[in-house]
Structure 1
C-alpha cells in the first residue's frame, strides 16, 4: 500500500513533541537564585569538545584542546582567538569559563538554558549574542534548531553549541587560507563572519522548505490524496518554527548596527548591516511561504469540496431520473384485483416504453440545462 493510500492519524504523543518545540519544559525550581546553572536541553554529546583558532595577520594556530586550562591565557593575548565549545551539559566547565572570562551569572544561566530568544546584550568587557542555527532534516521533513551563543570580547570570541557539527567550516577555511580581510580584522569581524554563516544557512533551509511547499501546492491542485491535509499542516508547523526562530534575529542585528557597543567598530557595523538585509529577506520569504501554504490548504479544501459536489450532482441526477420510474413501478406493483391494464396483452411493453421515454426526456432536459 502506497503512502497516498493511507491516512495519517495524529498521535497525541507526537502532538506533545511538536508543542515541546514551542513551549520549553521548565526544569529550574521556582524561586531559585538568579544565575543558577541548570541544563534544560538534551545531552547530545558524551564529552565536551574544545577547539581553538588563534590567529593574527602573520599566522594561525588551530588545535583541539583536552584541558580547558590551556585556554585561559588566550583572554589577554594580542592575537585574536576563537574558542568553540561543543556541548553544554558540563556545568562545572561552563562555570569555570565564567570565572576565567568574567562572565555575568545571568549569561552563564542563559548559556545552558537552551531555547533562549535571539538577543544581544552589552556588558562592560564583552557582548553576549544568542541566535538559532537551523538545519533541515531530510528524513523527517522538519526544521531542527540549535541554540548558538557567542561571547565577543576585545580580542576573543567564545562560541557555545549544543552538539558537534556546525555551519562554520567556510569561516575556518577562510582563516586557514588567509582569504579576504578576516585575518587582519578583530574579534568583532570574526563575530560578524560567524553570524553571517548562520544567516546564510537560513536560506538553504528556506530553499528546502520552498521546494516542499511547491511540491505540495502542485499536488493540491492536480491530485490531492487523503493524506494531503496532515502534510500541509506539518509544513505549516515548520514555518511557524522558522518564523519563531528568525523573526527576533532582525532586532538582534538592528541592535548591532544601530547600537553603541564598544566591541563593534564602525567598519564592522557596515557588514552587520548587510547581514541585517539578509535577515529581512529571510523573514519576507518565510511570510510568503506561509501565505502559499495557507493558500494550498484553501485550494485543497476547495478541490475536495468541488469533487464532492460533482459526485453529489451525479447521484442527485440519477436519483431524479429513477424517482418517476420508481413511482410507475410502484403503481403497477400494487396487488389490487381490478387493475384493467394488467389484463391487456400490450400493457407490459407500453409501460416499458413510457418509463424509457420519461427517463430519456429527463436526461435531455438535464443536458439542456447544463447539468450533465
Structure 2
C-alpha cells in the first residue's frame, strides 16, 4: 500500500508502525503514497472526510493551500529531477496535514520528499507536522532557486553574445523562453499558496514556524519576480536578434539593389547590341568590341559616381 509510513516522535526518532490506524503513538504519523496505487482511493476515503480525500485524489492540480477544520489541504509543485524529464515540468506533491498525521501523495518521484524519507530512516525526521512542512517547502524552494539561477546564467550568456551583431540567435533560446513560461505558470500560484500558509493562525502552525514559512514565501516571491525579469530579458534578446537579422537582410537587399541599378543600363546595352540583324554599327570595325567594353566601363563608373552624389551609397 503506502510507499512508506513512519511514527515520528518529539526527538525526531522514528518507528515503522505495524497497525493500519491513521494516527499513531508519536507526535504524528507520516503516510506517503503513490497516486497510481489502486488501493489508495478506498484507503483515503475510509479515513478522511470527502473534501480532503478528493484533494489528494485529483489527477490535475495547481498549487493551493486551504484550511479544512483543523487541518490543511496543500498542493505544491517541485522541480522535476527524474531521469529523462525536463526540469520545468514541475511535479505535484499533494498533502493533508493536521496535528497528528501527514499524508503525502505523488504521481512521480519527488526528490525533496525522498530526502525527508531518508532522514526518517536515519531516525532524524522533522519532529512536528509544521517542521515537516518547513523541511519540504525549503527543499522545493531551493531547487526552484537553482533552476532559476541556471536560466539566469543562460540569459546572461545570450546577452553577451549580442555584442557581436552577426551572432546568430541561440538555438535553445525558444526552449529557454518556454521553460520560464512553464515555471512561472506554477510558481505564481505557489507564491500565493505559501503566503496563505504562513498567514494561518492555527495551532498546527506555531509562531516560530510562521516566521520561517514567511521567509520561504518571500523567497518564492523573489523567484517569481526573477522569472518575470527573465521573461522580459529573453524577449528583449529575441527582439534584438530579430532586429539584427532584419538589419542584415535589409543591408544585403540594399547592396543587391545598388548592383542592379549599376548593371541595369549595362544589361540594356548588351541586349541592344546583341541583336543579330543587319545595320548594327561596328560590325566591320576591328575595335568595335573594345570600344563597347570601354563605353560600358565608363557608364558603370558614371552610375557609381551618380549614386554617390545622390547619397545612395
Alignment TM-score, normalising by the size of structure 2: 0.84
Q: State the partner residue of 2:28.
A: 80
Q: State the partner residue of 2:132.
A: 190
Of the candidates 44, 49, 71, which is equivalent to residue 97 of structure 1? 44
Matches within 5 A, 1:288-299: 288-299=229-240
Give the 3 Å change call, closer, same or farther, for CA 148–308 of structure 1 in structure 2: same
Give the 3 Å change call, closer, same or farther, for CA 327–265 of structure 1 in structure 2: same
Q: State the partner residue of 1:267.
A: 208
Give the 3 Å change call, closer, same or farther, for CA 141–128 of structure 1 in structure 2: closer
CA contact (8 A) 2:52 2:96 kept: no
For 2:129 and 2:82, locate their aligned partners in 1 and report how far apart those are by CA, in whole Å.
32
Matches within 5 A, 1:121-160: 121-135=66-80, 143-160=88-105
For 1:299 and 1:319, locate their aligned partners in 2 and report how far apart those are by CA, in whole Å.
30
Structure 1 window deviating more from structure 2 (317-326 vs 345-354): it is 345-354
**Root mean square deviation, CA, Å:** 3.1
Q: State the partner residue of 2:147.
A: 205
Q: State the partner residue of 2:108.
A: 163
Deviation at 1:264? 1.3
For 2:278 and 2:233, locate their aligned partners in 1 and report how far apart those are by CA, in whole Å.
70
Give the 3 Å change call, closer, same or farther, for CA 205–114 of structure 1 in structure 2: farther
Structure 1 window deviating more from structure 2 (108-117 vs 122-131): it is 108-117
Structure 2 gap ranges (5+): none
For 1:261 and 1:113, locate their aligned partners in 2 and report how far apart those are by CA, in whole Å.
26
Structure 1 gap ranges (5+): 1-47
Give the 3 Å change call, closer, same or farther, for CA 236–177 of structure 1 in structure 2: same
Alignment TM-score, normalising by the size of structure 1: 0.72
CA contact (8 A) 2:10 2:26 kept: no
Q: State the partner residue of 1:38.
A: none
Give the 3 Å change call, closer, same or farther, for CA 196–235 of structure 1 in structure 2: same
Cα offsets for 1:114-170 (capped at 9, x unmatched)? 321211111223111111122267866562222101211113322111133422355
Q: State the partner residue of 1:23.
A: none
Give the 3 Å change call, closer, same or farther, for CA 177–371 of structure 1 in structure 2: farther
Q: State the partner residue of 2:168.
A: 224
For 2:206 and 2:55, locate their aligned partners in 1 and report how far apart those are by CA, in whole Å.
26
Cα offsets for 1:347-370 (capped at 9, x unmatched)? 322211111122234345556777
Give the 3 Å change call, closer, same or farther, for CA 272–140 of structure 1 in structure 2: closer
